Chain A
């Protein structure tokens, strides 16, 4: 399948032809018996890993295996916040790498991922948060990440619908990152998939991995619902299902799979052109290009693989946001959904070699991995191709044994 470039001329031509000439964005081939590298999971992180394996290291004999449909996991269920204002240096490095790759990803993939650097404010609503975010702003200055701590009046200018003196938690300021924002989640998966397919890689949907095969401590392939497939290198990138795959590979992870929900309102006229996160009250909101208010909150309270959450969590999120944005009390909510997020003990991801030689794992992004997709794929590809990567070094799974945590749980509140 030769890729046709998307351009204004292509759009004009197809408009005249009744849109009958668009080729499929990616091919759906039958699996081969063996690949140099297999990636399990066609979410954003898996597809980005495959893409940079090809682009940066010339490894294109790659299959991406997906049990459902491409982007149907958390990648297609998130609220698309992209930011890089983390506290710890390794986090800032990988999230800022990702954010900066997002800036030009549409051009690079020739696919409109609708990156919108509209700016993100993380509200400080307690003295503790004021101190915490001031500290993060200083850390970000040292890391070369452009953020600033702003006062309440500036918050109000940036987001007029906010109520500054909410009854419980007045807005005391906020951490502002002006080049943070949102992107179209499905498009990120689709854009990477199209580019991978164009490099000759195989993206195989409805193909569930049910076993991992090895010989003498080295991975040799996988068992799937579409037969056995061999490989030299294996990348496990399955978010909430990481524990199950790790069990197949014979090791355990410091991960728990928890439900996280989000919801959108009916569409309204433009009223908010920044993203606002209120971590003290566990809620955040932005407005999609269609006009819906996109709302998320904290994770549900227990291990849960069902992609369904409990109503009282939604209620808590909305209750909190109504205090901060009184206008939303009149909005009807249109849809609500859930994903299975993979939470680690220090709320930072794992990008790592595993006890099984040739098998690598990328997981633990929890409630906040959409923003990291390009940087994570970049680092994971380097790790798989070279055996080490400066970007992923600190995120090895041995850090839990060695006590070298990358503690973002304090810095990031809950959901991020």
Chain B
């Protein structure tokens, strides 16, 4: 059972109050993009064994979306942060580095 803190309303709750919405920071392919770009945006996923950035929604709470950094190999949550970013903020990156010194970094 994961414990997550919603950065929008500040509530900390069990995962059953939230819903995962897939990988975060995907780059949306626009009109006229080649097929590869659409495939990448719609289907291709990093699916890492380790540090994963993902979207979550506080469905049974404030209803808003946010992002989380989490380890898929241990279920450890490194931190959560607002959805209005295109990459993880410095404090989240630092929190991951502190616990996973050999992490290869974002992208």
Contacts and interface: CB of A to CB of B under 8 A. Distances in A.
Interface of A: 241, 243-244, 252-257, 301-306, 308, 310-312, 344-345, 400-403
B44 A253 contact: yes
Interface string B65-94: 000001011110000000000000000000
Nearest to B52: A303
Interface in B1-51: 1-2, 14-16, 19-20, 22-23, 35-36, 38-39, 42-49
5 contacts: A243-B45, A252-B45, A254-B45, A255-B47, A400-B43
Complex A-B, nearest 10 residue pairs according to Cβ-Cβ distance, in ascending order:
A254-B43, A243-B47, A302-B20, A401-B39, A345-B43, A400-B43, A312-B16, A303-B72, A401-B35, A252-B44
A256 B47 contact: yes
Interface of B: 1-2, 14-16, 19-20, 22-23, 35-36, 38-39, 42-49, 52, 54, 70, 72-75
Nearest to B16: A312
Nearest to B14: A312
A304 B52 CA distance: 10
A345 B35 CA distance: 16
Nearest to B15: A310
Nearest to A401: B39
B80 to A, nearest CB: 13
Contact of B49 (A253, A305, A312, A402): A305
B35 A402 contact: yes
Given A302-B54, A303-B54, A243 B49 contact: yes
Contact of B46 (A241, A252, A305, A401): A252
A252 B40 CA distance: 9
B47 A257 contact: yes
B45 A255 contact: yes
A241 B47 CA distance: 10
Nearest to B1: A310
Contacts of B72: 257, 303-306
A400 B74 contact: no
Contact of A254 (B15, B16, B20, B44): B44
A312 B75 contact: no
A301 B17 CA distance: 12
A391 B45 CA distance: 26
Contacts of A402: 35
Nearest to B37: A401
B2 to A, nearest CB: 8
A345 B42 contact: yes
